[in-house]
Amino acid sequence: MPKDISIQAYLNNYKSLPLIDVRSPGEFVKGHIPTAVNIPLFTNDERAHVGTVYKQESQEAAIELGYKYVTPKLQWFIDESLITAPDKKIVIHCWRGGMRSHAFAQHLKDNGFTEVYVIDKGYKAYRHEALNNFDKGELLLLGGYTGSGKTHILHELVKQDQQVLDLEELASHKGSAFGNIGMDRQPTTEQFENNLYWEWHQLNMDEPIWVEDESPNIGDVNIPMHLFQKMRQSPVFFIEISQEERAKLLVKEYAKGDKTKLVRGINRISKRLGNDITKKALQLLEDDDFYQVALLTLRYYDKYYKRGIEKRDTDQIHYISMDDTNATENALTLIRTLDEQYAGI
């Protein structure tokens, strides 16, 4: 018989085994456990049909229809599962650990799979963890005005054996009107939450975790409420770098990209820039004066960020002046500052 395991047991002890998600393709695309492979018991249309029969007729009629759809695929289930788990050790889940996952698991067990596990309460259990399980761990927020190179600093902190949760990388967005430039398509909010918790669960909760200071949303995805509340209660290490230096970095990062995307970014913030500044920025962009464009937009972003940081607990904010955007040096400065804070200096 397949063995039921909790989501905690899976994450702690069975995560190295291949994971099969037997939900429909539509369910899988909306959100899934990272590393899962979709081998759907039903297509989207088949699932909808079975659900309709269940509601309008009976559970027995729905089960009978389900068997009609599944029976021709039985060998395909085995073949696909063997591709995913050639050593015949596997974990299965559906939406809530019900009939779909147990039927699929028993079929594999009956056909030579030696270790077959089913996640109790299924994908729903993982979603509960992904939205609520952020009580442990100490966060250190990296703050700073736009163009400070915070993402580059986070990468350097990783090289210095610091723990980092890179929210913008997981969200595939840099968190501004220009944040989608040079990034892959954003995941759904549900998938972002799933990916984020997958990374979170692998961190050592006895050591601090660096996270970039963010608003509740990054592009079109939202940070889980429990994590965002934790972020708002955490200390901020706010790096201060001149607009001139930050503008230089923005030119390096954006000037080589698609100019039409820069135009769209400027138009997104046109109401806040004002009509005259917007026209000036667009003309400068047309003239390829990227540096002046960066300076104009930074004036808007700096005001916006300043209003936000002034609402925070001043005792939780540590301002650190830095000469330029050298990410390696700035990461080392942050580590030294952190060491001083822990030393009580």
Relative orientation angle of helices 290-310 and 243-254, to the nearest 10 degrees: 120
CA distance linking residue 107 with residue 127, whole number of Å: 26
Written as six digits, the tokens of 99 are 């009939």
The answer to whether 98 and 120 have CB atoms below 8 angstroms apart is no
CA distance linking residue 166 with residue 195, whole number of Å: 11
Q: Name the residues annotated as catalytic.
A: 94
- Tokens 């972002």 found at: 192
CB atoms within 10 A of CB 168: 19
Written as six digits, the tokens of 92 are 């299965």
The answer to whether 42 and 24 have CB atoms below 8 angstroms apart is yes
Residue 201 C-beta-side C-alpha neighbours within 13 Å: 22
- Measure the N-to-C terminal CA separation of the chain; round to a whole number of Å: 60
Q: What distance lies between CA 58 and its chain's CA centroid?
A: 40
The amino acid at residue 288 is D
H/E element, 139? strand 139-144
CA distance linking residue 158 with residue 307, whole number of Å: 30
- Tokens 């699929």 found at: 104
